[in-house]
Chains A and B, each alone.
Chain A
């Protein structure tokens, strides 16, 4: 643990609390960038919600974005798979590079982009259909019609989302009959079924109880390596537990971005330190 001159007792306490949760290897390098933001901005009308962001999100790693409410972290996350297109007044500036192309390039096919960049939302939002149909929704869109193939995808996705055991006997039942935690894992399974490269998670546990939350966190740990995961969270312990890298945003600016261990134990910026020690936000 770093003991610099500016360390005070509160910080010490906070740091030790986080460092207990850090069980991942310490030597996390920057890795190969999967998504890169270059002076990327998002505007709602005249309001600049995300201000000229520059960041590289490493392939196969888990990146957490933290920050107080309204700091633009969800806006940024949703702009990665262009969900902000739904908002008529939203516009962007700069570049967001994915697979050598700007995501906001007019040549980009949004539909195939969203197949490669999946998303899990704040509230569990399964369709009012059966569990099976929920998971098979994406593959069916891609034109997979063979029953055996669909069965295989559904089982694999449910297994990967660690919900196969609970759901294998009730695949034909309505997904809305499941508990909130199960629904959220089902939504993750549904997102995995389209075999995305990147998984965006927008506060995936904020509507769940602690037990369901810990199951989702376990799941994220299991998915790590196979997928690039970018997760927005309000819960700093969660960010510390699940992520390799953490970005701290404040009022649309990216204040600090680096390895999670570094950011939580020895933040470079004053604002980061104040936020993670609970002085504001």
Chain B
């Protein structure tokens, strides 16, 4: 910077000038920093939501996913999926062979036990009679563990009998086999559970009731977690000295050394890919599919539709009421104490917590007015409308007051009545401001949970037709996000659905806002000429 152009008094003036520049610069610096932090925090908040939320739509799906889609939603090519399922079945065969071999070995040992027991039952003394009584209950068709239990009972009875001295050898053999089988039995059950979680029901197993147990892992990322849970047994360790408890992981294979199941671990560790056949999947139908088995399968259409109905319904109630109220307050009401009291009430209403609106909606719309027999979209919309009404009134009032007085004078001067002036001049000119209020409150209505808990929302439900919306409750994104994150029985298994819902809600609100902003820009452009 050169010398100031005024040489006289230059000292005094240049100091002031520099101070001014410094102030200017520090203010713009502060402004820049503030904007930077705002943008950064927005990115920090939104980026994980977008990335994790997209994983509900874009992920690596397994053959189990494609089978489930095919069976339950009729998506995909049936023949191709079945062909692929056969390939996966072939890859799993060695594993299932291990299981069969192991089961054979176990049943042989069981047969030996049965033979010993029946040998003892054939004796004519009290031992024989006692064992025979016990053996009458033995059912060779019963599950393995109950057979084992019966035989354990036989052994206990026989060992307690006075005649046991004659069968010491048989009893000793029985004891060894029983000990081996029963320690392993618990481990085998855990093994089979972990395996069926990973790959779906095992061959020969009775088909499970729950849909989620009828299929293995549908997503490769979840499959890898289940793979680890299969390979390692988790156990809580509680140290005796009062130190914090911790989870100890032990390789499951340790229990099965030397058994027929030992090779299964290597197969799961190395051949899982060919068993599940992971493939990149773009599941856009996540948006338009209904959910099955409490969001384990399918998408979020019911929730999306519910949110849409609730938001739209709230707008249908709140926008006309809010705008008319604002017109009354600005154009018709004569300034009085009552009017200023009304204004205070509106401002206060804007600050009332949303849960209070929720309870009010329950008490007033459902219990007093009985707009529907149970929770319904209608009651929820009305409650949401009440909540956003103050925002819309306030924004509309400001927009109407900002319309230049000259417009009104012009209209009145041309012979327009008050109502005509409002309709033809004031409202068109204040439309951008009113739209801003609508945009803000629309986002709020779409995302608010508390007002709909008691009035409209259910955790599980089908997408509603528009006619049923008056009388039926609906799932809605904000409520189902909360429910799925906190109250679902498998919170950890469904992280992708939770983030997918959050992402969809954010995207919905952004799209709503964006379209309103574009509309607003068009209207203002038309007004500006």
Residues of chain A at the chain B interface (Cβ within 8 Å): 81, 83, 86, 88, 111-112, 114-115, 118-119, 121, 123, 125-129, 137-138, 141-142, 173-177, 187, 190-191, 194
Contacts and interface: CB of A to CB of B under 8 A. Distances in A.
B415 A194 contact: yes
A128 B432 CA distance: 13
The 6 A-B pairs at the shortest CB distance, nearest first, are namely A174-B529, A176-B529, A125-B406, A115-B415, A119-B413, A128-B527
Given A88-B334, A127-B407, A127-B425, A138 B414 contact: yes
Given A123-B406, A137-B424, A141-B420, A128 B413 contact: no
A121 B413 CA distance: 9
Nearest to B417: A111
Contact of B429 (A112, A128, A177, A187): A128
Given A114-B412, A137-B414, A194-B414, 11 more contacts: A83-B412, A83-B413, A114-B413, A118-B413, A119-B413, A121-B406, A127-B429, A128-B528, A137-B424, A190-B410, A190-B414
Interface in B423-453: 424-425, 428-429
Nearest to A187: B410
Size range of the chain B interface in the assembly:
20 to 34
Contacts of A126: 410
Q: Which of A86, A128, A173, A190 has the most CB of B within 10 A?
A: A128
Interface in B496-529: 526-529
8 contacts: A81-B413, A114-B414, A127-B407, A127-B410, A127-B429, A128-B429, A138-B414, A190-B414
B330 interface: no
B29 interface: no
Given A128-B527, A177-B529, A111 B413 contact: no
Nearest to B424: A137
B355 interface: no
Q: Which of B413, B417, B528 has the most CB of A within 10 A?
A: B413
A187 B409 CA distance: 12
A86 B406 CA distance: 12
A52 B416 CA distance: 30
B264 interface: no
Interface of B: 334-335, 404, 406-417, 420, 424-425, 428-429, 526-529
B429 A83 contact: no
B430 to A, nearest CB: 11
Nearest to B416: A141
Contact of B528 (A115, A125, A174, A191): A174
Contacts of A175: 529
Contacts of B413: 81, 83, 114, 118-119, 121, 191
Given A175-B529, A176-B528, A177-B529, A141 B415 contact: yes
A136 to B, nearest CB: 11
A111 B528 contact: no
A124 to B, nearest CB: 9
Contacts of B424: 137
A138 to B, nearest CB: 4
Contacts of A112: 415
Contacts of A191: 413-414
B415 A173 contact: no
B415 A114 contact: yes
A236 B260 CA distance: 117
B410 to A, nearest CB: 5
Nearest to A176: B529
B523 to A, nearest CB: 10
A175 B410 CA distance: 14
Given A125-B406, A128-B428, A118 B414 contact: yes
A143 B335 CA distance: 33
Contacts of B410: 121, 125-127, 187, 190
Contacts of A121: 406, 409-410, 413
Nearest to B529: A174
Contacts of B412: 83, 86, 114
Contacts of A141: 414-416, 420
B526 A174 contact: yes
A121 B411 CA distance: 12
A173 B411 CA distance: 20
Nearest to B528: A176
A177 B407 CA distance: 16
Nearest to B410: A125
Nearest to A118: B413
Nearest to B527: A128
A148 B411 CA distance: 23
A48 to B, nearest CB: 23
A155 to B, nearest CB: 18
Contacts of B420: 141
Contacts of B526: 128, 174
Contacts of B425: 127
B528 A83 contact: no
A81 B412 CA distance: 10
A142 B416 CA distance: 9
A218 B424 CA distance: 32
A142 B417 CA distance: 11
